[in-house]
Homo-oligomer: A and B are copies of this chain.
Amino acid sequence: MSEKIVTLSIGGGGKQTSSFIKDIILKHFDNNIIDNLGDASYIKTSENTAFTTDSFVIRPEFFNGGNIGKLSICGTVNDLSVSGAKPLYLSFALVVAEGYSLENLEKIVESAANEAKKAGVAIVCGDTKVVERGGIDGIIINTCGVGSIVKKLNNYENIQAGDKVIITSDIARHGMAIMLERGQFGFNGNIESDCACLNHMMSEIYDYNIKFSRDATRGGVAAVLNEIAEKSGKGFIINEEDIPIRQDVAELCDTLGYDPLSVANEGAAVIIVGDDDCQKVLDTLKSTETGKNAKVIGEVVDDNKVILNTISGGRRHIDLPPGELLPRIC
């Protein structure tokens, strides 16, 4: 039997569009809100809302620890969570090439739906566009998220010298899992992406003296710290020996010539916390599944630089990562 594939007619707005949406999409998104599909969905929000968007272009679409569907949910849930908002509603927009395997597409949709359920968020609106063969390579997903603000964690002015820096997970697993999956380097290994929704973990720490947080995706921890430094006028001293990283991940980064601090994560947040609450936040994070490897990795200083104290006893600047890093990593 020949494989079922995506056809242009699925995106045409006619009969096949209706069947596709019913059979491949709505089957998995079993929430009530989406039943009465209109051009927009009606949702209940509070006055203070957070809103975010992210497109996902990762190749390959399936990787150790997830796929583009799961990632598209985690990425947007995490953007809301690190901004101090409780994620409530997501949109889900597919762009897929004619000829794409319907079986794989359904796996991706199912995985997104399951991840949304685990995170406790409702996917309330969607869109599907089909482009001709060659119009795109495979599949692209955009998700937007709407959440209710619990505590605004985007304010750089809150950050002051003496605040501590926590990373909530061991780093560089997502980027290296993708590299292994691509198989270009002839390396083997069993590195699973850290791809995970962080909203349940983050909700445990909002009551503490958290100053700022951001998830360390494209550009990794280095990009986050440099952006904070630029915007806040403060700096960081980070201790290499405290950075949580798996031995095999560190070795692969070393072999391939990547600085683990610049490698993308999809389940790791940088948290800036007042010294007074640092231990309580760390203990709380470590009691959660996604935060069990959390570590304090350094502190905020007045000198507007990002400095790494290396294991060998040296000091080096951590700069905003230049150039293209790993393309199509998220």
Contact surface of A with B, Cβ cutoff 8 Å: 7-9, 11-18, 36, 38-57, 59, 78-80, 82-83, 85, 89, 91-95, 124-127, 129-132, 134-137, 140, 142, 144-147, 149, 152-156, 214-215, 217-219, 223, 227, 262, 264, 320-325, 327-328
Contact = CB atoms under 8 A, between A and B. Distances in A.
Given A57-B135, A135-B328, 14 more contacts: A9-B324, A12-B324, A13-B218, A14-B262, A14-B321, A39-B83, A51-B146, A53-B127, A55-B93, A57-B129, A57-B131, A134-B137, A136-B136, A146-B146
B80 A52 contact: no
Given A15-B322, A320-B18, A135 B132 contact: no
A137 B131 contact: yes
A123 to B, nearest CB: 10
Contact of A52 (B54, B125, B131): B125
A140 B149 CA distance: 30
Contacts of A134: 134, 137
A216 to B, nearest CB: 10
B215 A39 contact: yes
A95 B139 CA distance: 12
A322 B13 contact: no
Interface core residue of A40, A45, A130 (most chain B CB under 10 Å): A40
A323 B142 contact: no
A327 B130 contact: yes
B125 A57 contact: no
Given A131-B327, A132-B328, A91 B52 contact: yes
Contacts of A223: 13-14
Given A125-B52, A129-B57, A40 B147 contact: yes
A323 B83 contact: no
A51 B262 CA distance: 35
